Structure 1
């Protein structure tokens, strides 16, 4: 009876919407205040490129199947199985995955010639006979499935509203960064984060694996890095590290969900855990004590020693071998104990090592003043008060062809407090409430960096003050959802008034997943 009432309610709302559609007959951007015709779609987040409501929808029920098309499409079959796995628990339905494309149900259609969707986009068409998801790539089909999940209730069966969604991302890179060096977190916790992010089309996971306080990945050629350097964390806790097998498992898990892992081995600063593990990495041959505080800028590899570059080559080589993605992050920020000339010399050689191992360099934006290698990606973490000369160096590099990932600390650093009442977190970049995290345009944020040079956006979560899963989630959500929309949705669809309504509609879904999120008073949570 509850299902019947819910279905009738949906149909009544849809009928009112359709009468308005007939009168207007137009497309609308979900970032605007949507007309009544788009009521069934207005909660989608990120906001799609276009939506058109049209006729009755498809009722998902016990007989619904997922059809993966004709032919040998193993990857399409895998996408279908993964989508079924995501939906079965919340819906309570069996959702078998079958081959072929004839018949009703959820139909996955791979079409390399599909227009208007790009490499990650899709078209979703819903009618009484079923829902058809069309994309050029399996990644696009997967993203279409995430949109379909949002068109169904957070729990139980329901009806997918009738109409068409056409969608594609604005930026290629939409990332989250996790710092497991300051406080150690397990691979299982990071996998949980991946599962929380993929419904919103995040496609990159930057993992900060090393810092002064801990080294978190086993390296066969330098075993004490993890065994000794991984044995503590901020505050003096036991720390921990991932085996190579555990890291590879995370990389595979994320990759199956179309999320690329970007590992970071920070250098030449932020290296006390390495220096404490191996005396030979120090210029004076003496290893310092392990560090459990939160200061930065006091450590440096010994740039003049050839043994340092053997270390760099062997460590980065092992990490590159474990990582199928194209990027390898080498840090490069806050190297205050490395003289400028030494910094330039070191980064030249470190970038060459990355290239020899078949990867593309990513580094924090300080590399812009020290000669980025061809194709190197700069990650900008400055803020409104960052010196003009520093911003200009980034702009100059961007104009020379270096892509930029935007992570402005006063917008996207998830370790910044929401307000004075927030218990975990820091304030050096200012408070970052939900509206501030969302209300800016990546395509026009940094003077001299055109939108064409912006590879994408990334929200880092540093963990100096974050030691539990509950605090991690509280600081990340809901601000990560704003990052997802900024990275995916067209500029014309952005706007706080529309976004806060879409964000509110995600509350029941976050609740259903057990996410410990910040209930911002500026959002009309349902």
Structure 2
């Protein structure tokens, strides 16, 4: 669509007549913002206070071919609070513009970007639409926090001037949401997707099955969802995603440049399945449903051919619904599976995943099975020595870092935190930030780290407010560990940048923990 200045002028007149902001010169000045305030910290950022750019009703968004989806997303971010038209057009035609450009810059890779803000316009360049999307997340932080409001705000809209050159330290920056202990509806998951996307998180790991509930429709084993999906921790209501709902979640995440990694935990954490289908038990007798939070008591029948038919059916259907490369097969806390049986199970199941075109990821216990080099063990220990993980890294496997004593978002902040657990310790905001993936596990260095992930287990988490309270403000720091150069890692500097995020969370309605370690704005 191409709009002339006359058409835009008419739009401004209409906005003014409707009581919407054509100008807000009398609005109070916003707190100072700078390109050096961005979370996660960029590779390089140089402020230019004389280069501030002002959004007006005449501003347009221009997009190269292939950049249209990101341009539409940007427009959707900016329109509610400004009330401005902000049309997406091929060329600016002399109008002030935010320009999204695709090109080739060897410095920034597939997710990096270069952002320049000057008085006469904003230019965002990247090699891919992923890079443009990441750049948009930085751009939104250069506007007043009120830009996150869902309703029109009468004020000036100034983008802080300067230049950012940026690209990620690690390829994978993830968040995990456990929907098995407590079920979260699709709209709740989408809300979390939007929240994590603004910090350049690019994977969402969905923990879809556990002892307390099965959350994904499997057409060849229909009672998994309709029966096994009806329970949750503490007897709370259950639920499950139809395959259509799951596909919609995957597509929504993709629109935020996030890849969904589904998990079916096995051979342990399987009570919901074993209580639903008796044949999954060695004695052929269904176990009772369980809604407590104990772990380690359940196990599939390792010697039974039916077990592997079950696994293949689940993997086949889930792989067909999931465009991402990886399926997560769990593998943790299988205390009721003898070690030899555990290895036998892994060596049968991992080729099934490959048969359906996917790569394996699982909790770090899978490293004992010497998985293929393409597999990614997810480390959830406390750091230090782990010979199996170190051996996997030495053999060529990349390791995903999720140390429970730093990255588990369900750990209590303090003894008085009303939600969460403390088996991995108390994890205040600084604890979640002060660690390095490249030195966490002996024998696993920088080049052997796939990235980081922040899991959120939901034994005590029931609502979206609960999710937000435990994830914020810790998740942005873990995202920064995954994205930003090691050289930028400094708590004293980070806590100042983090404090400036608070007004944005307030505008978004995020219920966050106001840690006394941070001087909140």
Calculate the TM-score normalised by the size of structure 2. Answer: 0.92
Residue 403 in structure 1 maps to residue 398 in structure 2:
yes
Please give the alpha-carbon distance, in whole angstroms, between the structure 2 residues aligned to 1:193 and 1:474.
12
Please give the alpha-carbon distance, in whole angstroms, between the structure 2 residues aligned to 1:202 and 1:93.
29
Q: Which residue of 1 aligns with 2:111?
A: 120
Residue 362 in structure 1 maps to residue 356 in structure 2:
no
Residue 418 in structure 1 maps to residue 413 in structure 2:
yes
Q: Which residue of 2 aligns with 1:24?
A: none
Per-residue CA deviation, residues 83-128 of structure 1 (Å, 9 max, x unaligned), is: 11122123332211111365431000000x2231111000001112
Q: 1:382 to 1:9 in 2, by over 3 A?
A: closer
8 Å contact from structure 2 (residues 111, 167) kept in 1: yes
Residue 108 in structure 1 maps to residue 100 in structure 2:
yes
Residue 4 in structure 1 maps to residue 25 in structure 2:
yes
Please give the alpha-carbon distance, in whole angstroms, between the structure 2 residues aligned to 1:493 and 1:251.
33
Query: What are the within-5 Å matches in structure 2 for residues 448-467 of structure 1?
Result: 448-467=443-462
Q: Which residue of 2 aligns with 1:202?
A: 201
Please give the alpha-carbon distance, in whole angstroms, between the structure 2 residues aligned to 1:311 and 1:340.
21
Q: Which residue of 1 aligns with 2:14?
A: none
Please give the alpha-carbon distance, in whole angstroms, between the structure 2 residues aligned to 1:334 and 1:352.
22
Q: Secondary structure at the match of 1:116?
A: coil
Aligned partner (choices 433, 436, 452) of residue 441 of structure 1: 436
- Aligned-residue CA RMSD (Å): 1.6
Please give the alpha-carbon distance, in whole angstroms, between the structure 2 residues aligned to 1:514 and 1:116.
37
Please give the alpha-carbon distance, in whole angstroms, between the structure 2 residues aligned to 1:490 and 1:220.
45
Query: What are the within-5 Å matches in structure 2 for residues 29-68 of structure 1?
Result: 40-54=34-48, 55-68=50-63
Q: Which residue of 2 aligns with 1:31?
A: none
Q: Which residue of 1 aligns with 2:499?
A: 504
8 Å contact from structure 2 (residues 36, 45) kept in 1: no
8 Å contact from structure 1 (residues 213, 233) kept in 2: yes
Please give the alpha-carbon distance, in whole angstroms, between the structure 1 residues aligned to 2:390 and 2:30.
53
Query: What are the within-5 Å matches in structure 2 for residues 92-491 of structure 1?
Result: 92-100=83-91, 103=94, 104-111=96-103, 113-155=104-146, 156=153, 157-384=156-383, 388=385, 391-491=386-486
8 Å contact from structure 1 (residues 177, 460) kept in 2: yes
8 Å contact from structure 1 (residues 348, 373) kept in 2: no
Q: Secondary structure at the match of 2:511?
A: coil
Q: Which runs of 5+ in 1 are unaligned?
A: 14-38
8 Å contact from structure 2 (residues 112, 134) kept in 1: yes
**Which structure 1 residue ranges, 4+ long, deviate > 3 Å from structure 2?**
5-10
Per-residue CA deviation, residues 243-294 of structure 1 (Å, 9 max, x unaligned), is: 0000000000000111000000000000000001101111000001111000
Number of equivalent positions: 490
Q: Deviation at 1:398?
A: 0.7
Q: Which runs of 5+ in 2 are unaligned?
A: 1-20, 147-152
8 Å contact from structure 1 (residues 7, 159) kept in 2: no
Q: Deviation at 1:52?
A: 1.7
8 Å contact from structure 2 (residues 35, 161) kept in 1: no
Per-residue CA deviation, residues 156-197 of structure 1 (Å, 9 max, x unaligned), is: 542222221100000100000000000111111010001011
Please give the alpha-carbon distance, in whole angstroms, between the structure 1 residues aligned to 2:348 and 2:81.
51
Please give the alpha-carbon distance, in whole angstroms, between the structure 1 residues aligned to 2:70 and 2:187.
22
Q: 1:244 to 1:9 in 2, by over 3 A?
A: closer
Please give the alpha-carbon distance, in whole angstroms, between the structure 2 residues aligned to 1:136 and 1:518.
37
8 Å contact from structure 1 (residues 411, 438) kept in 2: yes
8 Å contact from structure 1 (residues 478, 518) kept in 2: yes
Please give the alpha-carbon distance, in whole angstroms, between the structure 1 residues aligned to 2:390 and 2:86.
50
Of stretches 260-269 and 85-94 in structure 1, the one that deviates more from structure 2 is 85-94
Residue 518 in structure 1 maps to residue 510 in structure 2:
no
8 Å contact from structure 1 (residues 43, 506) kept in 2: no
Q: Deviation at 1:8?
A: 7.2
Please give the alpha-carbon distance, in whole angstroms, between the structure 2 residues aligned to 1:458 and 1:478.
15
8 Å contact from structure 1 (residues 59, 160) kept in 2: yes
Please give the alpha-carbon distance, in whole angstroms, between the structure 2 residues aligned to 1:525 and 1:77.
36
Please give the alpha-carbon distance, in whole angstroms, between the structure 2 residues aligned to 1:263 and 1:182.
15
Q: Secondary structure at the match of 1:303?
A: coil
Q: Deviation at 1:79?
A: 1.1
8 Å contact from structure 2 (residues 47, 161) kept in 1: yes
Calculate the TM-score normalised by the size of structure 1. Answer: 0.91
Please give the alpha-carbon distance, in whole angstroms, between the structure 1 residues aligned to 2:428 and 2:117.
37
Q: Secondary structure at the match of 2:329?
A: strand
